[in-house]
Chain A
Amino acid sequence: MRRHERLIVAAAILGLFALWEGLARTGLLDASLAPAPSTVLGSLIRLVGRPEVRASLWVTAWEVSAAFLVALPTGLLLGFTLAEVSVLGALFRPLVNFLFGVPKSIFLPVFILIFGVSIPQKIAFGVFTTVFVLIMGGIAAVQSVPRELITVSRVYGASRGQIIREIYLPAMAPILLESARLGMVFNITAVLLCEIYGARDGIGYRIAAWGENLQMPQLYAALVIVAAAAVAVNEALRAVETRLGAWRQRT
């Protein structure tokens, strides 16, 4: 985006908030449904100041990170295996495709039966949801490696290890990072859903409670926190992706 385009976008967003604020204050907008941005902001500052809310945020952050750290290598390695070993691919890819398309929340009761309402349950459900995205990403990444480049490196005497290091990894890097980013989005959503469904702590648990009591300012403030965290993670991964994928031809 060029500079004046950025300015227009920023002005439009500010204008929208100003309009919202105005409508809420004049009572044209039902404040119990859509509280004014200033009210939400005030609520946000108070929430972040409360130690028990901060603790809940940490619980969620821990669940999300743990689930991601398990799902990332598991999913990618499964994806690589399914792409490289054709027998396993033929056997399991239909199953993966099937489960990929199914709403994972159907399985939430199963996770509660196995793990109880606990932190491991949230992590396990996050892994379960995220792993399919990463399996698909791993398969796509392997298939994106051009065969000709492997022939070329063989001609120039590359060993198996060198082909993996010098061809496979750099060729797959952009798709791997893209899948990681997408997986993270699914992961955050899954953990929050799990917490809203039933939990003893975590920001999702608090969101559920505020929602039930129709505490809209708190609900929106929590939404802002979660969205900000998700966007921050997403953008950080995207920055790495752009840097490593600069060689990809843009059209």
Chain B
Amino acid sequence: MTRALVAIRGVSQRFGADGTSVTALDSIDLEIPDGQFVAVVGPSGCGKSTLLSLVAGLRLPSAGTVLCDGEPVTAPMPRKVGVIFQEANLLPWLSAVDNVAFPLKLRRVAKAERLAAARRMLELTGLAGFEGRLPHELSGGMKQRVAIARGLVQNPAVLLMDEPFASLDEQTRMVLGDELLRIWSETRKTVLFVTHSLNEAVYLADRVVVLSARPGRVVDDVDVDLPRPRSFAMSAGERFGALKDRIWQHIKGAERR
């Protein structure tokens, strides 16, 4: 077995003071091998985004450890981990290419070098020719492509995606899903992808981790045994439906409560 690139061991997360504390995540154990595409789904408020922010190093767990590439995560690791949020969160005063180059600028990479890297990433995400545009001149889908390019520009081993397509319309979401799979097959990143869309989870991932309602626990770990490359036709197939149904059984009870 390939070694675990991201290891989440006995991780719990509580919020608030002792008396009124809420347990968002309860003893999560998860090992993600190098190059795997893992989707995390669960009912609303199950702490899936919290899990992602722990791996991103934006907060520390109340208990347990998160390891990334063998190293405990105690702060953001910009060179190992790229993060893409639901909103593109581009710096509105920077052009597309400068936004993509921004993580390199923070690392004080020379200007010519970082712009060249940013241009390559925009090309990879299908935005060649839009380098000079300001964010408000781009559509929602294009902004998210810029955000993905920015996430990839340091060539991190891990890509964390927190419902990255949730605020896009369905057609754009499907196109970007395919684009993400193409980019993933070209770069072979380890992807942790939080979503509330079961279709998206099964369509994109190698493996779907299902969390329970609060406190979030891992209730199922589904191996998506659909062949790659994935195609739209598969989503109408029997196997796709069966996988989706298995995940849905976990979620529907929790959402009804």
**B101-109, B184-192, B241-249: which lies at the A interface?**
B101-109
Task: Report the nearest B residue to A249, measured CB to CB.
Answer: B136
Chain A: interface size category:
20 to 34
List the B side residues contacting A155 at CB < 8 Å: 56-58, 76, 78, 81, 83
- Determine if B92 is an interface residue (Cβ-Cβ < 8 Å): yes
Within A231-248, the residues touching B (CB, 8 Å) are 246-248
- Determine if B87 is an interface residue (Cβ-Cβ < 8 Å): yes
A157 engages B78 (CB within 8 Å): yes
- Determine if B93 is an interface residue (Cβ-Cβ < 8 Å): yes
Q: State the CA gap A203–B85 with chains docked (Å).
A: 58
Q: Which of A156, A162, A247 contacts B136 (CB 8 A)?
A: A247
A157 engages B91 (CB within 8 Å): no
Q: State the CA gap A151–B79 with chains docked (Å).
A: 16
Task: Report the nearest A residue to B104, measured CB to CB.
Answer: A156
- Determine if B226 is an interface residue (Cβ-Cβ < 8 Å): no
List the B side residues contacting A102 at CB < 8 Å: none
List the B side residues contacting A148 at CB < 8 Å: 85, 87, 89
B106 engages A158 (CB within 8 Å): yes
- Determine if B134 is an interface residue (Cβ-Cβ < 8 Å): yes
Task: Report the nearest B residue to A155, measured CB to CB.
Answer: B83
A154 engages B91 (CB within 8 Å): no
A-B interface pairs (CB < 8 A), number: 56
- Interface SS majority for chain A: helix
List the A side residues contacting B91 at CB < 8 Å: 149, 166-167, 170
Give per-residue flags for A74-87: 1 if the beta carbon is below 8 A from chain B beta carbons, else 0. Answer: 00000000000000
A151 with B92, Cβ < 8 A, contacts A157-B76, A157-B106 known: no
Within A39-90, the residues touching B (CB, 8 Å) are none
Q: Which of A156, A162, A166, A249 contacts B76 (CB 8 A)?
A: A156
A156 with B103, Cβ < 8 A, contacts A170-B93, A247-B93, A247-B134 known: yes
State the Cβ distance, A153 to closest chain B Cβ, in Å.
7
Task: Report the nearest B residue to A154, measured CB to CB.
Answer: B76
List the B side residues contacting A153 at CB < 8 Å: 102, 106
List the B side residues contacting A8 at CB < 8 Å: none
Q: Which of A151, A162, A170, A247 contacts B106 (CB 8 A)?
A: A162
B106 engages A166 (CB within 8 Å): yes
Q: Which of A151, A156, A166 contacts B78 (CB 8 A)?
A: A156
Q: Which of A157, A158, A248 contacts B92 (CB 8 A)?
A: A248
- Determine if A152 is an interface residue (Cβ-Cβ < 8 Å): yes
Q: State the CA gap A102–B101 with chains docked (Å).
A: 48
Task: Report the nearest A residue to B153, measured CB to CB.
Answer: A156
Within B22-62, the residues touching A (CB, 8 Å) are 56-58
Q: State the CA gap A166–B92 with chains docked (Å).
A: 12
Give per-residue flags for A211-251: 1 if the beta carbon is below 8 A from chain B beta carbons, else 0. Answer: 00000000000000000000000000000000000111100
Q: Which 3 A-B pairs have the closest CB atoms?
A: A157-B78, A247-B93, A156-B103
Provide 13 A-B residue pairs closer than 8 Å at the C-beta atoms, listed in order of the A residue: A151-B89, A152-B85, A152-B89, A153-B102, A153-B106, A155-B78, A155-B83, A156-B150, A157-B77, A166-B102, A166-B105, A170-B91, A247-B135
Instruction: List residues of chain A with CB under 8 Å of any chain B CB.
Output: 146, 148-149, 151-158, 162, 166-167, 170-171, 246-249
